[in-house]
């Protein structure tokens, strides 16, 4: 014992380390807990002997063949300033170049997600949503811990569950999950009061999306899309808009069967818009499964009532509402009756024209669009 420099010696559990500790001793223990074979502790002149998280400059050296080294310097430092010492990183990015997401494991046992956005617009959208309407979703969504606009990075709390993308569930559980998907969509759309619409259709993106979709389109499809866009240019602006996730699909929905909880993540595309846009990509998941579509609409609070009415005749086409073509009223086949409409006010406003081709095409999904156009199937309204 050295009473002039040491207060006491004892045995302690890793998750109950005493304070204060000698800084280099704490650095060694952090490296050990992280499974690192080597750690370098940097101490500047004037630094205290006792461990201070704000002055911790320990660098953990990854072992040979290790690929989960976390984000580069500045983003890693930003994350540690937000949550403290991070002892391990797991790359959980999607298999595409622009996806950069890591799960961070804290020295004290916490877990967070660190994300770098591919552009400033996505960063601003996600940060604004997480600071604005997302907290109204409660435990169904992550919380924003820190954001850095210069780095285009955010630190988020972790949520549970596994992605619904690629998951297989028994039919009964699948219907229950899709019912919850509808409930969660309704919670998103009512998380803030609707406001007057002040946007027009994003026709300026037509060429970019056509360039991406062209290899998948059949002869005549591009001309049809251009003609539809010309007609849409004369339509009025939206009457009102609500918060939308704008990428509401299975890969951004996580299901935890043990706690019976559904989570939603990834708000980088979110913006005020029409409620129906959040069902465009989700509709791929219920294609060919009317029971799943019914579960979603029932959960959303707009049951289709199909069980209570005779089956409708085949719908080779459908027409938009002349009042607001991209609002929920448009997501209705022209030969549905009003009771079948799942979205508020979605009954057709004009006599059905069974010879009119769809005038809302989602060029964000070229494979689906191209195949559907060739089969002359109804396509949900796109953004």
| CA pair distance 332, 343, nearest whole angstrom | 8
pTM over 0.85: no
Integer-rounded Cα Rg, in Å, for the chain is 26
Between the CA of residue 148 and those of 71, 74, 76, 90, what are the distances in Å? 14, 11, 12, 21
Report the first-to-last Cα separation within the chain, whole angstroms.
71
SS (H, E, C) 287-355: CCCHHHHHHHHHHHCCCCCHHHCCCCCCCCCCCCCCCCCCCHHHCCCCCCCHHHCCCCCCCCCCCCCCC
| CA pair distance 6, 196, nearest whole angstrom | 66
- Domains (ranges, CATH) in the chain? 1-66 (no CATH), 67-158 (3.30.200.20), 161-197+241-303 (1.10.510.10), 200-236+311-383 (no CATH)
Query: Do the beta carbons of residue 261 and residue 226 sit within 8 Å?
Result: no
pLDDT of residue 304: 64
| One pLDDT digit (tens) per residue for the chain, 383 residues | 577 767 778 888 877 788 888 888 888 887 776 666 677 888 888 888 888 877 777 776 666 555 557 888 899 999 999 999 898 898 888 877 788 999 999 988 899 999 999 999 999 999 999 999 999 999 999 999 999 999 999 999 999 999 999 899 999 999 999 999 999 999 999 999 998 876 666 777 889 889 999 999 999 999 999 998 888 888 777 788 999 999 999 999 999 999 999 999 999 999 998 898 899 899 999 999 999 999 999 999 987 655 544 443 333 333 333 333 333 333 333 333 333 434 443 333 332 332 333 333 333 444 444 444 444 444 444 43
Query: Do the beta carbons of residue 135 and residue 122 sit within 8 Å?
Result: no
Sign of CA dihedral 13, 16, 18, 19: positive
Q: Sheet harboring 240-244: ordered strands across? A: 195-196, 240-244, 271-273
Q: For residue 321, what are its two tokens? A: 């509402």
Query: Do the beta carbons of residue 38 and residue 5 sit within 8 Å?
Result: no
* CA nearest neighbour of 88 among 32, 165, 144, 148: 32
| CA pair distance 182, 296, nearest whole angstrom | 4
Q: Could you tell me which residues come within 8 angstroms of residue 19 by beta carbon, excluding any fewer than 6 positions away?
A: 51
pLDDT of residue 269: 95
| CA pair distance 48, 97, nearest whole angstrom | 43
| CA pair distance 285, 339, nearest whole angstrom | 24
């Amino acid at each position: 014992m050295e009473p002039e420099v040491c207060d006491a010696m004892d045995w302690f559990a890793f998750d109950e380390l005493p304070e204060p500790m000698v800084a280099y001793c704490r650095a060694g223990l952090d490296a050990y807990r992280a499974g690192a074979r080597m750690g370098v502790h940097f101490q500047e002149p004037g630094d205290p002997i006792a461990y201070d998280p704000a002055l911790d400059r320990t660098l953990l050296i990854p072992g040979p063949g290790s690929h989960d080294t976390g984000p580069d310097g500045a983003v890693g430092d930003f994350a540690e300033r937000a949550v403290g010492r991070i002892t391990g990183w797991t790359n959980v990015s999607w298999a595409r170049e622009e996806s950069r997401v890591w799960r961070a494991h804290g020295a004290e046992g916490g877990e967070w997600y660190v994300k770098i956005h591919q552009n400033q617009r996505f960063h601003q959208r996600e940060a604004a949503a997480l600071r604005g309407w997302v907290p109204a979703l409660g435990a169904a969504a992550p919380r924003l811990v820190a954001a850095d606009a210069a780095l285009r990075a955010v630190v988020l709390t972790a949520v549970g569950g596994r992605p619904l993308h690629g998951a297989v569930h028994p039919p009964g559980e699948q219907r229950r999950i899709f019912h919850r998907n509808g409930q969660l969509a309704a919670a998103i759309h009512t998380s803030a009061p609707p406001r007057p619409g002040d946007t027009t259709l994003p026709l300026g993106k037509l060429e970019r999306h056509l360039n991406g979709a062209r290899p998948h389109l059949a002869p005549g499809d591009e001309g049809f899309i251009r003609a539809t866009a010309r007609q849409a240019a004369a339509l009025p602006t939206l009457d009102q808009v609500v918060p939308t996730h704008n990428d509401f699909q299975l890969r951004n929905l996580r299901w935890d069967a043990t706690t019976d909880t559904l989570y939603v993540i990834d708000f980088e595309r979110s913006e005020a818009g029409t409620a129906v846009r959040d069902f465009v990509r989700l509709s791929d998941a219920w294609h060919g499964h009317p029971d799943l579509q019914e579960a979603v609409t029932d959960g959303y609070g707009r049951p289709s009532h199909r069980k209570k009415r005779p089956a409708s005749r085949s719908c080779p086409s459908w027409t938009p509402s002349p009042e607001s073509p991209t609002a929920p009223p448009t997501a209705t086949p022209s030969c549905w009756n009003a009771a079948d409409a799942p979205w508020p006010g979605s009954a057709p406003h004009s006599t059905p024209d069974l010879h009119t081709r769809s005038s809302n095409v989602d060029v964000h999904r070229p494979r689906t669009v191209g195949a559907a156009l060739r089969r002359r199937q109804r396509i949900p309204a796109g953004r």
